């Protein structure tokens, strides 16, 4: 079984899908990111407390990516920073990666931004040789679990995790796995996603009623 290319090579250090884009995180993004995820709801299921300012947020992210096993992206929608997400590689399982650490401004929840972000990353990760992609979410986070299922990932059930919740409890997480599709299926999925994106950019007819 081949290993995923790591560190991943991101052409131009960004990925785009219309008005949604991913850029490799840099400290210049910290202030806008801090304000985008300042809502307490954006931190509810994360195993870390909300930072007091953007400097602390920046330090936390830089510490996380320092060992080279995390690749963190800043998420933008229509040019505005709306969150972050990461690809995580483990030396003990080099044939795949985990997509996680996703945190979005609640203002874009339910708008399709999260799905577009995940599909961009899934496409890129499989293009770079991954055999599988893992996902996990707190067992209490049914909204996140539902979104992961929509990606076609297999639900592996709830298991004890090593993460500590903000309330001090040891987290139990629901784990998922998305296996690399066959070449034919992967190409069809890529074409479907591209066609959907192109249709979304076409001008829409209106009835004149509001």
DSSP state of 197: H
Give residue-wise pLDDT tens across range 43-64: 999 888 899 999 999 999 999 9
DSSP state of 207: -
Per-residue pLDDT at 63 = 97
- pLDDT above 70 as % of the chain: 86
Residue 61 sits at φ, ψ, to 5 deg, of -70, -45
Cα 92 to Cα 116: distance, rounded to the nearest angstrom: 29
Per-residue pLDDT at 198 = 57
pLDDT at residue 1 is higher than 80? no
Per-residue pLDDT at 2 = 79
pLDDT band per the 50, 70, 90 thresholds, residue 90? very high
Give residue-wise pLDDT tens across range 176-194: 999 999 754 545 555 555 5
Give residue-wise pLDDT tens across range 130-163: 999 999 999 999 999 999 999 999 999 999 999 9
Per-residue pLDDT at 208 = 35
Per-residue pLDDT at 77 = 98
pLDDT band per the 50, 70, 90 thresholds, residue 199? low
pLDDT band per the 50, 70, 90 thresholds, residue 209? very low
Which residue from 112, 98, 97 is spatially nearest to 20, judged by alpha carbons?
Answer: 112
- pLDDT above 90 as % of the chain: 79
Output the average pLDDT for the chain.
89
Average confidence (pLDDT) over 13-41: 97
Q: Which helix (H) or strand (E) holds 199?
A: helix 183-201
Task: Indicate the pTM of the whole model.
Answer: 0.85
The three state secondary structure string of 54-110 is HHHHHHHHHHHHCCCCEEEEEEEECCEEEEEEEEECCCCCCCEEEEEEEEECHHHCC
Contact of 45 with 137, CB cutoff 8 Å: yes
Average confidence (pLDDT) over 119-123: 97
Per-residue pLDDT at 204 = 43
- Provide the 3-class DSSP secondary structure of residue 20: strand
pLDDT band per the 50, 70, 90 thresholds, residue 96? very high
∠ CA 192-194-195 to the nearest 5 degrees? 65
């Amino acid at each position: 079984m081949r290993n995923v290319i790591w560190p991943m090579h991101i052409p131009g250090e960004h990925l785009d899908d219309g008005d949604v884009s991913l850029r490799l995180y840099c400290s210049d993004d910290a202030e806008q990111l801090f304000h985008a995820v300042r809502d307490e709801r954006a931190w509810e299921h994360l195993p870390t407390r909300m930072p007091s300012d953007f400097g602390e947020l920046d330090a936390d992210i830089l510490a996380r990516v320092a060992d080279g096993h995390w690749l963190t992206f800043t998420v933008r929608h229509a040019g505005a920073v709306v969150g972050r997400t990461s690809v995580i590689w483990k030396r003990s399982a080099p044939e795949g990666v985990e997509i996680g650490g996703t945190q979005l401004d609640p203002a874009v929840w339910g708008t399709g931004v999260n799905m577009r972000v995940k599909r961009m990353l899934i496409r890129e990760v499989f293009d770079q040789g991954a055999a599988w992609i893992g996902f996990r979410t707190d067992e209490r986070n049914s909204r996140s679990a539902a979104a992961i299922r929509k990606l076609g990932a297999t639900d592996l059930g709830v298991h004890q995790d090593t993460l500590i919740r903000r309330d001090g409890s040891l987290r139990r997480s629901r784990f998922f796995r998305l296996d690399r599709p066959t070449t034919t299926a992967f190409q069809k999925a890529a074409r479907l996603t591209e066609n959907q994106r192109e249709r979304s950019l076409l001008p829409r007819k209106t009835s004149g009623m509001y």
